[in-house]
Structure 1
Amino acid sequence: MGVMQTRLSDIDTRLGTIDARLGGIEIEVAYLRQLHEESMYDYASSSEVFVKPQKSRAYFKRFQVKYRRRREGKTDYRARIRLINQDKNKYNTPKYRFVVRFTNKDIIAQIISASIAGDMVLATAYSHELPRFGLEVGLTNYAAAYCTGLLLARRVLKTLEMDDEYEGNVEATGEDFSIEPTESRRPFRALLDVGLLRTTTGNRIFGALKGALDGGIDIPHSDKRFAGFKKDEKQLDADVHRKYILTLAEDEPEKLQTHFSEYIKKGVEADGMEELYKKVHVAIRADPTIKKVEKEPRKDHKRFNLKKLTYEERKAKLIERLNALNSAAGADEDEDDDE
Structure 2
Amino acid sequence: MNHKETKDKSYFTRLQVHYRRRREGKTDYQARKNMIVQDQRSINTPKHRLVVRRTNRCVIAQIILATIQGDKVLCSAYSTELKKYGIAVGLTNYAACYATGLLVARRLLKKLKLDTLYAGVSEITGKDKAVEANKKGPRPFKAYLDTGLVRTSTGARVFAVMKGACDGGLNVPHNVKRFVGFNRGSKKFDAAVLREHIFGIHVSKYMKELQKDDPEAYKRQFSAYEKAGITADKIEEMYKKAHAAIREKPEHVATTKNVPEKKGHFNKKAHMDKFPLKLRQARWRMKLDAVKRKMKNAQAVFDEDD
- TM-score bracket relative to the smaller structure: 0.7 to 0.9
Query: Counterpart of 1:213 in 2: which secondary structure?
Result: helix
Larger Cα Rg: Structure 1 or Structure 2?
1
Consecutive aligned runs of 4 or more in structure 1 exceeding 4 Å deviation: 309-319, 329-332, 334-337
What is the aligned partner in structure 1 of residue 65 from structure 2? 113
Shift of the 323–171 alpha-carbon distance from structure 1 to 2, 3 Å rule, reads same
Q: Which moved more, 1:176-185 or 1:138-147?
A: 176-185
What are the equivalent positions in structure 2 for 1:36-75 lying under 5 Å apart?
52-75=4-27
What is the aligned partner in structure 2 of residue 299 from structure 1? 260
Asked if 1:127 is matched to 2:88, the reply is no
Shift of the 163–303 alpha-carbon distance from structure 1 to 2, 3 Å rule, reads closer
In the TM superposition, residue 183 of structure 1 has moved relative to its aligned partner by: 1.7
Query: Counterpart of 2:224 in 1: which secondary structure?
Result: helix
Amino acid of the structure 2 residue aligned with 1:131: K
In the TM superposition, residue 90 of structure 1 has moved relative to its aligned partner by: 1.8
In the TM superposition, residue 329 of structure 1 has moved relative to its aligned partner by: 4.6
Distance in 2 between residues matched to 1:136 and 1:306, nearest whole Å: 48
Shift of the 143–258 alpha-carbon distance from structure 1 to 2, 3 Å rule, reads farther
What is the aligned partner in structure 1 of residue 130 from structure 2? 178
In the TM superposition, residue 65 of structure 1 has moved relative to its aligned partner by: 1.9
Amino acid of the structure 2 residue aligned with 1:324: A
Distance in 2 between residues matched to 1:172 and 1:187, nearest whole Å: 20
Q: What number of residue pairs does the alignment pair up?
A: 286
Amino acid of the structure 2 residue aligned with 1:143: A
Note the alpha carbon deviations across 1:148-203, whole angstroms, 9 max, x for none: 10000011111121111111112222222321222232211110000011112211
Q: TM-score, normalised by structure 2?
A: 0.84
Query: Counterpart of 1:122 in 2: which secondary structure?
Result: strand
In the TM superposition, residue 212 of structure 1 has moved relative to its aligned partner by: 0.5
What is the aligned partner in structure 2 of residue 266 from structure 1? 228
What RMSD in Å do the two structures reach over aligned CA positions? 2.6
What is the aligned partner in structure 1 of residue 292 from structure 2? 326
Query: Counterpart of 2:269 in 1: which secondary structure?
Result: coil
What is the aligned partner in structure 2 of residue 206 from structure 1? 159
Distance in 1 between residues matched to 2:94 and 2:46, nearest whole Å: 30
Asked if 1:227 is matched to 2:180, the reply is yes
Q: TM-score, normalised by structure 1?
A: 0.77
Larger RCO (CA under 8 A, 6+ residues apart): 2
Unaligned runs of 5+ in 2: none
Query: Counterpart of 1:154 in 2: which secondary structure?
Result: helix
In the TM superposition, residue 299 of structure 1 has moved relative to its aligned partner by: 2.7
Asked if 1:83 is matched to 2:83, the reply is no
In the TM superposition, residue 269 of structure 1 has moved relative to its aligned partner by: 1.1
In the TM superposition, residue 78 of structure 1 has moved relative to its aligned partner by: 1.3
